[in-house]
Amino acid sequence: MKKFFGKIICLFLIIFYFSKVDQVQSLIPYYYFPTRRNLQKESLSIAKDAYQLLYFGQYKESLNLARLAIKINKTDAKLWLILSEAQVANKLYTKGLSSLNEAQKINPNISEIYFAKSNIYFKIEQFENAKKALKTGLSFEPNNHKAIFQLGNILLMEKNYLGAIKLFDKSVKIKPDFWQAINNIGLAYFEQNELNLSIKHFERAISIEENAEPLLGLASCLRIKDINLALELTKKALAKNPNYVKYEYRKEQLWGEKLQTSTEILLNNDQLKKDVMLAKSKINEPS
């Protein structure tokens, strides 16, 4: 009987214990703590949205989302790259470089980090740093035609025309339809007084993409040889992109002094007065 009562007491104690546990659990709220993997997944999703906003020109919104992604996950180099791109779009160049430095600490073997750095250095006119960053990036990705092209552009600015042509040629061998590099070979040859080679490359660029730049470049080459064709090409170029009527805009596109002089003479032709005036009116229109 004593044993029986002992078992009954034990049973009641067990029942009492579990009933109290249920009461305690009913009083303590349940919280969901996301796992590290879930946080990483969420940060990547936010970063993707930031990149899309960047693509559509919503720069401030993109920056806000990119910052949020980094707050969630600071260990992904790709997120720092996206943040840097958003910062550059908002002209926050120093902060953009800082973000790239963070990405480099996480993974120093990503070529895009150095190419992005070179782009910022180029914008703030630190050309030596831009060259150094490009060369580092190319050590990881030697066949990146855009990086080779950009390195050629820096040499073009430094008036190292032979070096620039060599790099432009190299980028075209990698991507044969890269008309921008072919066009810039034309720019370099003109400054070296190699008129026929300049014409050849502008024509080749136009055969790939009838862009305003090679059209006007070719027109400037033909100014003396064939003025009628030069006038026709100039009209077509200004209709496509009226910004090329401006000296400063052409300078931004790395046009050299000799080509600039030839183009200014061409644009002062009486038969182009209306076209030049129309182009100027278009670029002065409020957006």
Q: How confident is the model at residue 30 (pLDDT cuts 50, 70, 90)?
A: low
Identity of residue 33 = F
pLDDT above 80 for 8? no
Is the separation of the CB atoms in 263 and 220 below 8 Å?
yes
Is the separation of the CB atoms in 111 and 137 below 8 Å?
yes
Q: How confident is the model at residue 36 (pLDDT cuts 50, 70, 90)?
A: low
Identity of residue 23 = Q
Q: What is the 3-state secondary structure (H, E, C) of the chain?
A: CHHHHHHHHHHHHHHHHHHHHHHHHHHCCCCCCCCHHHHHHHHHHHHHHHHHHHHCCCHHHHHHHHHHHHHHCCCCHHHHHHHHHHHHHCCCHHHHHHHHHHHHHHCCCCHHHHHHHHHHHHHCCCHHHHHHHHHHHHHHCCCCHHHHHHHHHHHHHCCCHHHHHHHHHHHHHHCCCCHHHHHHHHHHHHHCCCHHHHHHHHHHHHHHCCCHHHHHHHHHHCCCCCHHHHHHHHHHHHHHCHHHHCHHHHHHCCCCHHHHHHHHHHHCCHHHHHHHHHHHHHHCCCC
What are the structure tokens assigned to 233, written together?
A: 């090409």
Residue 74 domain-assigned (yes or no): yes
What pLDDT does 228 receive? Answer: 97
Domain final position from 63, 88, 103: 103
Residue 72 domain-assigned (yes or no): yes
Structural domain that includes position 80 = 39-103
Residue 210 domain-assigned (yes or no): yes
User: Are residue 99 and residue 181 in the same domain, yes or no?
Assistant: no
How distant, in Å, are the alpha carbons of 89, 98, 171, 172, 263 from that of 184?
26, 32, 11, 11, 16
Is the separation of the CB atoms in 125 and 98 below 8 Å?
no
Residue 51 domain-assigned (yes or no): yes
What pLDDT does 18 receive? Answer: 42
pLDDT in tens, 261-270: 999 999 999 9
Looking at per-residue pLDDT, the higher value among 46 and 148 belongs to 148
Is the separation of the CB atoms in 185 and 176 below 8 Å?
no
Q: What percent of the chain has pLDDT over 70?
A: 85
Q: Which of 175, 232, 240, 189 is nearest to 213 (CA)?
A: 240
pLDDT above 60 for 3? no
What are the structure tokens assigned to 234, written together?
A: 């100039």
Domain final position from 103, 123, 141: 103
What is the residue-averaged pLDDT of the chain?
89
User: Are residue 87 and residue 192 in the same domain, yes or no?
Assistant: no
What pLDDT does 34 receive? Answer: 57
Please tell me the total count of domains within the chain: 2
User: Are residue 185 and residue 268 in the same domain, yes or no?
Assistant: yes
Q: What is the CATH number of the domain that holds 96?
A: 1.25.40.10
Is the separation of the CB atoms in 96 and 88 below 8 Å?
yes
Looking at per-residue pLDDT, the higher value among 214 and 43 belongs to 214
pLDDT in tens, 61-117: 999 999 999 999 999 999 999 999 999 999 999 999 999 999 999 999 999 999 999
pLDDT in tens, 157-167: 999 999 999 99
Domain final position from 88, 103, 118: 103
pLDDT above 70 for 28? no
User: Are residue 190 and residue 283 in the same domain, yes or no?
Assistant: yes
pLDDT above 90 for 155? yes
Q: CB-based burial of residue 179 (10 Å sphere; 0-12 exposed, 13-18 middle, 19+ buried)?
A: buried
Is the separation of the CB atoms in 171 and 178 below 8 Å?
yes
pLDDT above 80 for 285? no
What average pLDDT does the segment 234-242 reach? 98
131 backbone dihedrals φ, ψ, rounded to 5°:
-60, -45
What pLDDT does 50 receive? Answer: 86
pLDDT above 60 for 184? yes
pLDDT above 80 for 35? no
What pLDDT does 259 receive? Answer: 98
User: How far is residue 220's CA from residue 265's CA, in Å, rounded to a whole number?
Assistant: 9
